Structure 1
Amino acid sequence: MTRRRWKKVYPNSMQEAIRLCLDYAMHKHHRSVARVAELNGISEWVIYKWMSAGSMPTNRIAPFELACDCTFITEYIGSSAQKLLIDIPRGRPVSQDDLLDLQALLNESFGQLRRFYRDDAEAAAVIASVTDAMCALAGHRQNVTKSESPDLALFDGGDE
């Protein structure tokens, strides 16, 4: 069985988003459709109905994604509304290597864009590169935001 790269998967329809959630739950957590349905307190046939209709009640999206441990439905809804969704990074100390990695990622993204506009690069590769750069920048943005109001260190086990 080949290893699947889940971070690079983006759903193109609601049906595909539901299917990707179920595939992810099976692949990563060995949860069948019946188990996901049980965790949601519904029949597995309801999930099949949602998938065949390509719709799901909005109050069921969050519990369904929690049971599957992924957010493909939310990502599809956001992208269909022309919005960019990225995971909010947890924030962590940054080293010089992290900044150099960010610079390399931004340079790679810029190079991909330049090649695309010269008709030398494929759109999918450019989109992936730009998205990776934006996510990395969002991580550093979150670090700066958290430096202004750091989280409570309740479970740090620090020196007191």
Structure 2
Amino acid sequence: MHALRLCKEEAQSKRHLSVERIADRMGVTHDSLYKWLATGRMPGILLPAYELACGCHYASEWLAASSGRLVVPMPTGRKAEGSELLDMNSSCAAALQLLTTFYATPQKADAEATLAALRQHLEQVAFHHHNVAQYATPELEF
């Protein structure tokens, strides 16, 4: 429920959208949207439309995190430079070093730095994963 309200507040502050305009962009009535925001029980099928209208993804990120999942934004894809591959290798080494320290002495390790390093490495891997997948199934050019 809090994540839905945060999306609404961001839409209001950054996009200057009222609840009525968000509902209009979703194709629902404002009364329904007010009810869902009050109860936190928005139909799951409408969540992507709501987040698109609001311009943020707090609700879907909360759903993933509450299920123990890590959310990594999928990149749009482009050719990687050699330096990016070296950066990915370096970030992997840094993340593994922090992870090794964490498991050896968790009370002395910096958990936030370890998480940040792991997230950075996962985002870099996701970029290359997407590029390889796109190569296997190319998009048609118009």
TM-score normalised over the length of structure 2: 0.79
- Which moved further from structure 2: 90-99 or 113-122? 113-122
The 1:23–1:103 alpha-carbon spacing in structure 2 relative to 1, beyond 3 Å, is farther
Q: Deviations over 1:107-139 (max 9, x none)?
A: 232233233232333433322321221121011
The 1:49–1:139 alpha-carbon spacing in structure 2 relative to 1, beyond 3 Å, is same
**Letter in structure 2 aligned against 1:136:** Q
Number of the residue aligned with 1:92: 78
User: How far 1:66 moved relative to its partner?
Assistant: 1.6
Paired-residue identity, %: 32
Number of the residue aligned with 2:16: 30
Distance 2:101 2:2 in 1: 31
User: How far 1:77 moved relative to its partner?
Assistant: 1.6
Q: Deviations over 1:3-26 (max 9, x none)?
A: xxxxxxxxxxxx231123123323
- 5+ residue gaps, structure 1, are 1-14, 155-160
Number of the residue aligned with 2:121: 133
Number of the residue aligned with 1:105: 91
**Letter in structure 1 aligned against 2:137:** S
**Letter in structure 1 aligned against 2:133:** T
User: How far 1:84 moved relative to its partner?
Assistant: 2.8
- 5+ residue gaps, structure 2, are none
Number of the residue aligned with 2:108: 120
Match of 2:43 among 54, 57, 61: 57
Match of 2:137 among 139, 149, 156: 149
Q: Does 1:76 align with 2:57?
A: no
Cα RMSD (Å): 2.3
**Letter in structure 1 aligned against 2:29:** I
The 1:95–1:47 alpha-carbon spacing in structure 2 relative to 1, beyond 3 Å, is same
User: How far 1:27 moved relative to its partner?
Assistant: 4.3
TM-score normalised over the length of structure 1: 0.72
**Letter in structure 1 aligned against 2:42:** M
Higher helix share goes to which structure? 2
